[in-house]
Structure 1
Amino acid sequence: MINQAVILAAGLSEEFGRPVGFLKIPEGTIIERILNLLEENGIKDILVIAGYESEYYEALAKERGFKIIKNPKYKWTGTMSSLAYAKDFVKEDFILIESDIVFEERALWEIIDSAFKNCMVVTTESGSGDEAFVDIREEKIFKMSKDKHQLNKIDGEMIGICKISHEVYGKMLEEFKLNKNPYLNYEYVLMDVSKDNPVGYVKVDDLIWGEIDHKEHYDNMVNYVFPKLKIKEKEVKEAILKGYIIEALNVKDEDIKDLKKLGGLTNRNYKFTMNGENYVLRAPGTGSNEIVNRKDEKYNSEQIAKSDIDSHIIYFNEYSGVKIAKFIENAETFTGESAKKEENMVLSANILKKLHTSGAKFKNTFDTFDKIEEYEALLKKVGGEFFEDYQDIKKKVFAFKELLEDLDSELVACHNDALAENFVKGADRLYLIDWEYSGMNDAMWDLAAYSLECKFSKLDEELFLNIYFNGEPEEKYKKRILIYKICQDIFWSIWSAIKEAQGDDMGSYTIDRYNRGKKNLEVFYSL
Structure 2
Amino acid sequence: MSASLNDSHLNELFDQLPVLAGRERRLEDLDGGLTNRNVKITTSDAVYVARCSGSSSSLLAIDRDNEHYNSRAAERAGVGAPVIDYRPDLGILLIGYLDGITLSKDDFSRPGVIAKAAHACRTLHGGPRFRDDFDMFALQSSYLKIARQNGFRIPDDYSDFADQFESIRRALEPDSQRTVPCNNDLLAANFVEDGDKIWLIDYEYSGNNDPCFELGNIWRDNRLTLEQLEELVTEYYGRPTRHELARARLQGTVSQYGWTLWGCIQNGGSALDFDFWEWGMERYENAVEEFRGPDFGGLLDDVNASD
TM normalised by structure 1 equals 0.50
Q: 1:271 maps to which residue?
A: 40
Three-state SS of the structure 1 residue aligned to 2:17 is helix
Match of 2:244 among 477, 484, 491: 477
1:368 Cα shift?
A: 1.8
User: Structure 1 residues 526, 304: closer, same or farther in 2, change over 3 A?
Assistant: closer
1:301 Cα shift?
A: 1.4
Specify the structure having the higher radius of gyration (Cα).
1
Three-state SS of the structure 1 residue aligned to 2:295 is helix
Q: 1:372 maps to which residue?
A: 140
Q: 1:321 maps to which residue?
A: 91
Q: Does 1:519 align with 2:292?
A: yes
Q: 1:258 maps to which residue?
A: 26
Match of 1:297 among 55, 60, 67: 67
Three-state SS of the structure 2 residue aligned to 1:287 is helix
Two-structure CA RMSD over aligned residues (Å): 2.7
- 1:309, 1:453 → 2: CA distance? 20
Contact 1:256 1:272 in 2 (8 A): no
- 1:269, 1:505 → 2: CA distance? 19
Q: How does 1:7-156 map to 2 (within 5 A)?
A: 41=2
Match of 1:283 among 47, 52, 55: 52
Q: How does 1:454-465 map to 2 (within 5 A)?
A: 454-465=222-233
1:305 Cα shift?
A: 1.8
Q: Between the two proteins, what is the percent identity of the paired residues?
A: 22
1:286 Cα shift?
A: 4.8
Contact 2:102 2:192 in 1 (8 A): yes
Three-state SS of the structure 2 residue aligned to 1:306 is helix
Any idea what the Cα deviations from partners look like across 1:190-209, whole Å, max 9, x if unmatched? xxxxxxxxxxxxxxxxxxxx
Indicate the larger mover: 305-314 or 487-496: 487-496
Q: 2:162 maps to which residue?
A: 394
User: Aligned partner of 1:518: which letter?
Assistant: F
Gaps of 5+ in 1: 1-39, 43-104, 107-236
Alignment size in residue pairs: 290
Contact 1:242 1:256 in 2 (8 A): no
- 2:228, 2:254 → 1: CA distance? 21
User: Aligned partner of 1:339: which letter?
Assistant: F
User: Structure 1 residues 382, 459: closer, same or farther in 2, change over 3 A?
Assistant: same
1:409 Cα shift?
A: 5.0
Three-state SS of the structure 1 residue aligned to 2:277 is coil
- 2:32, 2:227 → 1: CA distance? 31
Three-state SS of the structure 2 residue aligned to 1:256 is coil
Three-state SS of the structure 1 residue aligned to 2:292 is helix
1:454 Cα shift?
A: 1.5
Three-state SS of the structure 2 residue aligned to 1:440 is strand
TM normalised by structure 2 equals 0.83
Q: 1:356 maps to which residue?
A: 125
Any idea what the Cα deviations from partners look like across 1:200-222, whole Å, max 9, x if unmatched? xxxxxxxxxxxxxxxxxxxxxxx
- 1:498, 1:251 → 2: CA distance? 35
1:370 Cα shift?
A: 0.8
Q: 1:490 maps to which residue?
A: 257
- 1:276, 1:505 → 2: CA distance? 38
Contact 2:180 2:209 in 1 (8 A): yes
User: Structure 1 residues 397, 454: closer, same or farther in 2, change over 3 A?
Assistant: same
Instruction: Decide which structure has greater helix share.
Output: 2
Q: How does 1:410-489 map to 2 (within 5 A)?
A: 410-426=178-194, 429-473=197-241, 475-489=242-256
- 1:428, 1:284 → 2: CA distance? 31
Q: 2:172 maps to which residue?
A: 404
Contact 2:186 2:218 in 1 (8 A): yes
- 1:439, 1:505 → 2: CA distance? 24
User: Aligned partner of 2:226: which letter?
Assistant: K
1:334 Cα shift?
A: 0.5
Gaps of 5+ in 2: 300-307
Contact 1:485 1:517 in 2 (8 A): no
Any idea what the Cα deviations from partners look like across 1:78-117, whole Å, max 9, x if unmatched? xxxxxxxxxxxxxxxxxxxxxxxxxxx56xxxxxxxxxxx
Indicate the larger mover: 396-405 or 349-358: 396-405
Q: How does 1:492-507 map to 2 (within 5 A)?
A: 492-498=259-265, 506-507=277-278
1:379 Cα shift?
A: 2.6
Contact 1:487 1:517 in 2 (8 A): no
User: Aligned partner of 2:292: which letter?
Assistant: K
- 1:510, 1:306 → 2: CA distance? 32
1:290 Cα shift?
A: 5.9
Three-state SS of the structure 2 residue aligned to 1:264 is coil
User: Aligned partner of 2:247: which letter?
Assistant: R
- 2:76, 2:244 → 1: CA distance? 27
